[in-house]
Structure 1
Amino acid sequence: MPADEVRVKVWVVPPGPGAWTQTQTQAQAQAQAQGQSGAAGGIVSVVDSDGRVILRAPRAGGSDGDEHLAHAPDPYTAKRDTPEWWDDAKFGIFIHWGIYSVPAWNSQRHRYEPFLRWWLHNDGKSETWRYHLFFLKSLLGEYWRYHRDTYGEDFVYDDFIPDFTARKFNASQWVELFADAGARYFVFVTKHHDGYALFDTGNSTHRSSYHLGPKRDFLRELFNAARAEQPSLHRGTYYSMPEWFNPDAGPYGFGNWPGHLARNPYDESKVEPYTGRLEGKDYLEDIQLAHMRSLAMDYESEIMWCDIGGPNLTVKFAKEWYPFAEAQGRQVVMNNRCGALPQFDTPEYARFSSIQRVKWETSEGIDPYTYGYNRRTKAEDYRSVQTIVSTLVDIVSKNGNYLLNVGPTAEGEIIKPMIDRLLEVGKWLAYSGECIYGTTGASLTGDRVCYQDYSFLGAESGDVRFTTTAESFCMISLVRPENGLLVIERAVPVLPGDEISLLGGGEEGKRLEWWIKDGKLVVRVAEEVLDRVEWAWAFKVSFLVR
């Protein structure tokens, strides 16, 4: 069949940790006896119903992965695939919320609002010479001046904590919105680089919403609501591995995460407090690892979405987390920013231009410039529904997931422009989701591998994206077909007897007339049927069982 392809997963269940060495030795001996290379980790053979070998391949992960296993017999430190539920989910919601949501002021485009504390202590240091460069004065040090003029030079970052009231926060409303948006998982920022956590941090530190400010465990409230009211939503946690100005992190500091207390950006003779810090803690063991254990075991996070990396005890953590989750029958996943054992890549405000074999997830905000809430962004400047849907389709067609961020206010409110957009995306997914959830990308786009910015729609394959399952093939047009015809100018997997339908087109959108002419697929669809669909038009080819 032209351009036909089917991708399957072959699950190979390893033996227990103590049996790895023996299993590898046996596999090596068997492979050598059969004239194979004998790489540790073995060969996977696929046979047909008659017992004939139709495919032989090394275990996924390549020689590097096998070599790693040979030296690390614990399977929980081996390279792991992403869970099937994560692969199939495609669309998730990111939530950036914290002390930074109080000032909620982003000084420049493409500068993240949650970083405002870092800019405050770094952008204003060369203010004198900036006044001599008029064209730079309006761009550099803007937040340094804004904070001084709005709050005063003696108002430090931790003074925002009492105003982080969260009085409008309603966990049930949040998870209902995420579900109505068509998301299959969410990732909650439990602690950003400022070190202020939104969960019960116990005696590791009291720098958290449980001990300071609203005195509430927001992660517990959110996860409990999701479990009880939206059980199909998978629950994940973002966690910043380092902290900017935690003196306990000083011995492990690096780059823009130096540790050590911050100095007043207007008078460096003054040292700023680190409110809630408890004395005598080793940052890696008593704070970072303790927090990761709590998120994974106490709150039962399914996604460990780390940020920044740096010094870490991730391997030690993984050896505890993976068997803990597996004993409960749960599949869990960790991104590539925990410092070790990555399972998926995480470009932000960017995406790949072609299909990827390695799993990946793009994250970006409904706000086109930042993750947290920014009071300067106008309602009309938020990403449009058209842009969000097109981005989702493009990412999914390239084997990725889309993690779309909302930034609540300091009171815990997700504002109406964000809600409106999420609900419209949910309406589209309600009728087009068959071409999104549980699909894989079809290899009909170009083979270039590079990053593009968030406005890129993919010139390699025009305005149509392709996804596939074992039983169907989808052609998703990002623009409305003209003159009642969808024309695909390349070979696609469709044969006589296959049915083509426009998802969301009603009864008249089913079993559409189609034909092949000059190697092009042409599908006829009435204008009134096209009118029933918005944002993107998903045409599904249902294969005839032959």
Structure 2
Amino acid sequence: MERNYKPDFTYQQFADQFTAELFNATQWALLFRDSGARYVVLTSKHHDGYTLWPSKQSFGWNAVDVGPKRDIIKELAAAVRSVTDLRFGLYYSLFEWFNRLWIDDKLHLLLQQHFVDYKVRPEQMELVQQYLPDIIWSDGDWEAPAKYWKSEEFIAWLYNDSPVRETVVTNDRWGFGTACLHGDFYNCADRFNPGVLQAHKWENAFTLDRTSWGQRFDVSLSDFMSSKDVIREIVSTVSCNGNVLINVGPTKYGTILPIFEERLRDMGRWLKVNGAGIYGSTPWIYQNDTQTPHVWYTRGKESDDVSTVIYAFVLEYPYDTNELDIYPLGKDINVFRNVLLTGLDLGMDSDVLTKATTQITMLGMEDTKIAWTANHNKLHILFPPKHHIDKRGLDYAWTFKITIAEV
């Protein structure tokens, strides 16, 4: 601020610069759809307290009174629901940097709850009743316990009496000590990706700009995740029972930077080919293994009582050999591991991987026969010729679909 703005410039003056004159909600919604996303979460209010809707509790500090003079939430919610089948959610920060009620509550050691009673709770109710979000993404909770925020009361109303009680889901940021403990899905921390299976559904919220949750000008190309980085993050997250929430910081004009758009469209193209192993999948018994750490696995939603589908995502192409070894699937495994690995009882003396029981295809190359063999400790797969793969435009990560069925 001191380096780039005049001495008497205040934070509140940023609102006048936020014009959003180029904001087109339909274009945003279509981009999110084309990215392969299944839900979108808009920041309704961040820590500065500025709201993207005409909040009755934020007079003169909202997007209708100052700045764009538009209800951004209303426009985007309508667009998402009219031109896509995505779920629409809202992020809401509990605390605010500048709010005098919050500051006064802290001065009183949080023994009073004026900020919650006169600001937070009315806004939470207003957001739910006006915009009917499918997701409530709470944040800014860490300076006070859930009891101060009256989180239990709000969530009880949300699940039992609100107009979205049949559909809404929430995250875990409802007061310090609630992260990774309470919520339909856990965030635990920003950019949380443990790399190992989590029992409870979780979400990896990360930024395409590696260090910023907004849009900034002091940035270089190396600060952005590459498309390959994004795909890696998606695969490793979904394999471990998580979802991804990818942050994109728009400009003050209401546009999304071309580099962000490129990443999202690359992601959408990849998911169009490989999404069968992502959408609706569940964790397999293995997520990856130490011998091939660049390979991750999911169990396909096509699996049933007589067949199981395993997807193997290869994040590094084997240029030297054009071959892949999958060690969790070997031929010499006993009946217990048959059931454990495939969910199928193939018999005490039966091999899991035989030409009769097993079919292997590469997503995007379904018309190409995949050569493979199985020995006592691994499944060995030969990739199609690389130039054939390149002609199909397959990049970033390559997926094998392994179907094992009873005969």
TM-score over 0.5 for the pair: yes
Aligned residue among 246, 268, 272 for 1:404: 246
For 1:209 and 1:459, the matched residues in 2 are separated by: 51
CA contact (8 A) 1:204 1:290 kept: no
CA contact (8 A) 1:193 1:242 kept: yes
Partner of 1:109: none
1:253 aligns to 2:106 (yes or no): yes
Partner of 1:515: 373
* DSSP-derived class of the 2:2 partner: helix
* DSSP-derived class of the 1:433 partner: helix
CA contact (8 A) 2:41 2:91 kept: yes
Partner of 2:277: 435
Matches within 5 A, 1:15-414: 147-203=1-57, 205-230=59-84, 232-253=85-106, 282-309=114-141, 310=144, 311-324=148-161, 330-339=166-175, 341-346=182-187, 347-414=189-256
For 1:350 and 1:507, the matched residues in 2 are separated by: 38
Deviation at 1:214, TM superposition (A): 1.7
> Aligned letter for 2:170?
M
If asked which structure has higher relative contact order (CA below 8 Å, sep 6+), I would say: 1
CA contact (8 A) 1:335 1:345 kept: yes
C-alpha distance after superposition, 1:162-199 (max 9, x if no partner): 11100111100111111111110111111011000101
Alpha carbon RMSD of aligned pairs, Å? 2.4
For 1:227 and 1:435, the matched residues in 2 are separated by: 26
> Aligned letter for 1:487?
D
For 1:410 and 1:376, the matched residues in 2 are separated by: 15
Deviation at 1:350, TM superposition (A): 3.5
* DSSP-derived class of the 2:149 partner: coil
* DSSP-derived class of the 1:220 partner: helix
For 2:374 and 2:133, the matched residues in 1 are separated by: 49
Deviation at 1:461, TM superposition (A): 5.1
Cα 1:328/1:159, change in 2 over 3 Å: closer
CA contact (8 A) 1:386 1:535 kept: yes
Deviation at 1:370, TM superposition (A): 1.0
C-alpha distance after superposition, 1:131-187 (max 9, x if no partner): xxxxxxxxxxxxxxxx22322221110011111100111100111111111110111
Cα 1:389/1:153, change in 2 over 3 Å: same
C-alpha distance after superposition, 1:436-479 (max 9, x if no partner): 11112223247xxxxxxxxxxx9685110010033411111101
C-alpha distance after superposition, 1:364-409 (max 9, x if no partner): 1110111100111124531100100011101111111111110001
CA contact (8 A) 2:210 2:224 kept: yes
For 2:16 and 2:246, the matched residues in 1 are separated by: 29
1:543 aligns to 2:404 (yes or no): yes
Q: Which of 1 and 2 has greater Rg?
A: 1
* DSSP-derived class of the 2:251 partner: coil
Deviation at 1:203, TM superposition (A): 4.7
More displaced stretch, 244-253 vs 177-186 = 244-253
For 1:414 and 1:298, the matched residues in 2 are separated by: 26
* DSSP-derived class of the 1:352 partner: coil
Matched-pair identity in %: 31
1:478 aligns to 2:315 (yes or no): yes
> Aligned letter for 2:185?
F
> Which runs of no fewer than 5 residues in structure 2 stay unpaired?
330-340, 343-351
Deviation at 1:515, TM superposition (A): 1.8
Cα 1:247/1:176, change in 2 over 3 Å: same
> Aligned letter for 2:310?
F
For 1:342 and 1:205, the matched residues in 2 are separated by: 31
> Which runs of no fewer than 5 residues in structure 1 stay unpaired?
1-146, 260-280, 447-457
For 1:149 and 1:430, the matched residues in 2 are separated by: 45
1:505 aligns to 2:374 (yes or no): no
Deviation at 1:362, TM superposition (A): 1.2
Deviation at 1:328, TM superposition (A): 6.2
For 1:204 and 1:445, the matched residues in 2 are separated by: 46
Partner of 1:463: 294
CA contact (8 A) 2:353 2:374 kept: no
> Aligned letter for 2:262?
D
For 1:385 and 1:463, the matched residues in 2 are separated by: 16
Q: How many residues align?
A: 362
CA contact (8 A) 1:322 1:332 kept: yes
